[in-house]
Structure 1
Amino acid sequence: MRTTLIAAAVLGALSATAFADGSVQLYGQVNVVGIYSDNGLNNGTASTKKLSIDQGNTPSRIGFKGEEDLGDGLKAWFQIETRVNTDDAANSAFASREGWVGLQGDFGKVGLGRGKTPYTNVADTFDGLVDGARNLAIYSPDSVISNRFDNAIRFDSASFSGLTFAAMYGTGETKDDAAKLDNNDKVSLAVRYTAGPLFLAAAYNNETNGVNPDTKVNPDKKAENGRDSTGYLLAGTYTIDAIKLGLGYQRAEKEAAAVKFKRDSFVTTVSYAMGPTTLKGGAIFGSKAKVAGVSQDNSQFVRYTIGAKHALSKRTAALVEFSGDETKGNNADPKALSVGLLHSF
């Protein structure tokens, strides 16, 4: 017990020193949302409606980040970010969102650890619009990528007249000698260009033995060793005064055994700022999925969201959103109304 107290005291003293000299920054957000949802079953089973207290699409988190000047233009940096379940205090692993240590300089930034991928960062251009029950992450409906890589190394270049490049590799740390390949290896790449009101980006993501595709289309498809999940993404936004328009395209591909799943999706968003209030809306349009080259009936979908976010201060905002899915055939059409409060620090 005494040893524990001494260790805690030493850590506390070190932390106090770090915060005092400004090398560590504490940041985060608390988001709590009341959600009235309907799972929208269409197969003859009664749908379920419920009221819940949740965190919506932007979960609460707490993080620490900092840097140290090593001289000659070189700096060491770190970031640790953990999800905090403020609605029910359920456990979440430490550094569940981001966990990095690395070096940065005129060349850019390199890090070792885990966190969001360059592909996910580009997709967040649209998903960042949403705070309620649903999301506009274009990769989400078909689940062909992981939004974070473990056991990873990431490089972000410096900006060259608005052009940046990012690359990330995650090793699965397992090997299938019979198949002569590393299982669960992951690669994510992105190029981004910013010029005034214009933003353009392209991204690529490939995962060996990746996650399953849309189970609504092919519920029996399972991931297998040596098979690839691949995403291709093009994105762009343009800001005109208080209006911001966004458009994106994704090709999702997934292999399993001798069967290949493929779908094209589009996402469009618009937001309009009126003083402290921002009106926003968007939708993902999924085309018919193809399995082994054959179009699947009733596999199209539309995911939509519309809402408003009102800033009560620089750090606190109230939000209201209505979102849902529209599908074909007997697939579910879930809907949700969200009202919440978000505080950043």
Structure 2
Amino acid sequence: MDKMFKRTLLGAVVAFASTGAMAAEETGQIGVLSDFKVDVYGVAAISAFYQEDGNGYDYENESRIGFRASKDMFDNVNVFMQIESGYVGEDGSGSTLGARDTFLGLRGDWGQVRFGRMLTPMYEIVDWPYSNPGLGRVFDWGGDVKAHYDRKGDIARYDSPAFGGLTFSLSAGRGDTGTDGSNHFGAAVHYNVADIVTLHGGYENNSKVDGVDVDASAYIIGFELPLPAGFGLAGAYKFADGAQYTDWATTGLDAEQSSYSIIGQYWNGPWGFKLGYAANDESELEGVNQNDGDEVVSAQLMYVHNGFVPYLRVGQHDAYDSSDKLAFVRVGLEYGF
């Protein structure tokens, strides 16, 4: 046994020495085998949240970390990858590496193509700018009809270069990998008109969405309009035609819902203020009104200094089919690195 241990240890030492020699020959640095460019990045974000009729205040930790690497493979073909963790949350259970955008891709002056897990083109528009500040509980995840994904694995995505003021994105892949015939297709287009207003449009189609026997589709149209003296305005309309969350076990029933978002903002140096309103119309299930409309109004004051963003957010909502208007307040600090 002792002889076997010594042989194993010797083999490990030889292997380590040969690896170090290869590393030194490859890069001149012991222990470094690759000349890929590698970056570590992340967001540190913590906030205290309180809502009327809740169980008290809560600290919400949305900190996350990621890694990026890239290297030129051919002329005008750069290979790049990314792996990003989820939010820390209450106990770290959702912070697994790969929970957020994690992919391998190729890029050049022809655009970029990625394979893996990432935001869908339509959801990028839903998320920004139309769910901030604090409107996501209605305009994003607070809807009553499942028709589009936010982040999707098992897809390929192409993002175009800029053609004047025009860019577009396409995505395609599997929907629910455990369901035969469940597939995903998405698209988005962005057009800046004479450096005055930016128009956004997105579409998504998901057959047998999340394994339920419903073919779903959704679209969004919106605008961003900078105004003089630091003011700005943004607005969007979203329509979802898919499956009703409350009747998820019932397959084959068609549901639809319209949503709206409008946001005004004002910046004066490092100080910023946003006021937003979002609403979901009452959804319909097989043409029957479900009496589940909701709305949120939210205001946010923020200060940007040296990369740090402290903010205060207050608002009121009746999301998640609440029978009363509930006030909420959030104070937080975040910064990227």
TM superposition score category, shorter chain reference: 0.7 to 0.9
Distance, in Å, in 1 between the alignment partners of 2:70 and 2:152 is: 23
Deviation track 1:110-153 (CA, whole Å, cap 9, x = no partner) reads 011101110111112224633x6x63673422243220111111
Residue 188 of structure 1 aligns to a residue whose secondary structure is: strand
Tell me the distance in 1 between the aligned counterparts of 2:89 and 2:288.
45
* 1:139–1:48 distance in 2 versus 1, CA, 3 Å: closer
Q: Against the structure 1 CA distance between its residues 175 and 289, is the aligned structure 2 distance closer, same or farther, given a 3 Å change threshold?
A: closer
Corresponding residue of 1:303: 296
Provide the rounded CA distance (Å) in 1 between the counterparts of 2:32 and 2:320: 57
Show the counterpart of 1:214. none
Aligned partner of 1:206 in structure 2 is 205
Deviation at 1:109, TM superposition (A): 0.6
The answer as to 2:329 corresponding to 1:337 is yes
Q: Is the 8 A contact 2:138 2:295 kept in 1?
A: no
Shift of 1:234: 0.4
Say if 2:171 is the partner of 1:173.
no
Cα distance change, pair 15–309 in 1 and its aligned pair in 2 (3 A): farther
Deviations 1:21-62 (A, max 9, x none): 671222111000011123xxxxxxxx434111113xxx2221
Against the structure 1 CA distance between its residues 15 and 83, is the aligned structure 2 distance closer, same or farther, given a 3 Å change threshold? Answer: farther
The one-character-per-residue Cα deviations of 1:232-271 (angstroms, maximum 9, x if unpaired) are 1101101113112101001111146453211111100111
Residue 156 of structure 1 aligns with an amino acid whose one-letter code is D
Contact 1:244 1:272 in 2 (8 A): yes
Q: Which runs of 5+ in 1 are unaligned?
A: 39-46, 177-181, 212-222
Mapped to 2, the partners of 1:14 and 1:113 lie a distance apart of 32
Larger radius of gyration: 2
Amino acid at match of 1:99: T
Which residue number in structure 1 is paired with residue 310 of structure 2? 318
Residues 245, 330 of structure 1: alpha-carbon distance in 2 compared, 3 angstrom cutoff: closer
The alpha-carbon distance between structure 1 residues 14 and 68, as it changes in their structure 2 partners (threshold 3 A), is: farther
Q: Do residues 260 (structure 1) and 254 (structure 2) align?
A: yes
Structure 1 stretches of 4+ moved >4 Å: 13-18, 327-330
Structure 1 contact 136–282 (Cα < 8 Å) conserved:
no
8 A Cα contact 2:142 2:320, kept in partner = no
* Residue 190 of structure 1 pairs with residue 188 of structure 2: yes
Structure-2 separation of matches of 1:157 and 1:49: 47
Output aligned runs, 1:1-345, within 5 Å. Answer: 23-38=37-52, 47-55=53-61, 59-85=62-88, 88-127=91-130, 129-130=132-133, 135=136, 138-142=139-143, 143-171=146-174, 172-176=176-180, 182-183=181-182, 185-195=183-193, 196-210=195-209, 224-225=212-213, 227-241=214-228, 242-255=230-243, 257-297=251-291, 299-313=292-306, 315-326=307-318, 331=323, 333-345=325-337
Indicate how the Cα distance of structure 1 residues 138 and 328 shifts in structure 2: closer, same or farther if over 3 A, else same: closer
Residues 332 and 80 from structure 1, CA distance in 2 versus in 1: closer, same or farther, beyond 3 angstroms? farther
- The one-letter code sitting in structure 1 at the alignment partner of 2:111 is G
TM-score between both structures, scaled by the size of structure 2: 0.81
Alpha-carbon contact 1:239-1:245 (below 8 Å) kept = yes
Change over 3 Å in CA distance of 1:30–1:87 after alignment to 2: farther
* Residue pair 2:147, 2:240 contacting (<8 A) in 1 also: yes
Q: Which amino acid letter does the alignment assign opposite residue 142 of structure 2? A: P
Q: Distance in 2 between matches of 1:331 and 1:137?
A: 15
Kindly tell me: are residues 307 and 326 of structure 1, through their superposed partners in 2, closer, same or farther at Cα, counting changes over 3 Å?
same
**Kept in 2: contact 1:149–1:170 (CA 8 A):** no
1:175 CA drift (Å): 4.4
CA distance in 2, matches of 1:260, 1:282: 30
Q: 1:203, 1:288 → 2: CA distance? A: 22
Percentage identity across paired residues of the two chains? 21
CA drift of 1:106 comes to: 2.5
Gaps of 5+ in 2: 1-7, 24-28, 244-249
CA distance in structure 2 between the partners assigned to 1:271 and 1:14 by the alignment = 52
Q: Contact (CA 8 Å) 2:273, 2:300: kept in 1 or not?
A: yes
TM-score, with length taken from structure 1:
0.79
Q: 1:207/1:137 Cα in 2 relative to 1: closer, same or farther (>3 Å)?
A: farther
1:51–1:100: structure 2 CA closer, same or farther, 3 Å change rule?
A: same
Question: Which digits, 9 at most, give the CA deviation of each residue in 1:47-83, with x for residues without a partner?
Answer: 434111113xxx2221122321233222111111112
Alpha-carbon RMSD across the aligned residues, in angstroms, is 3.1
Aligned residue pairs total 308
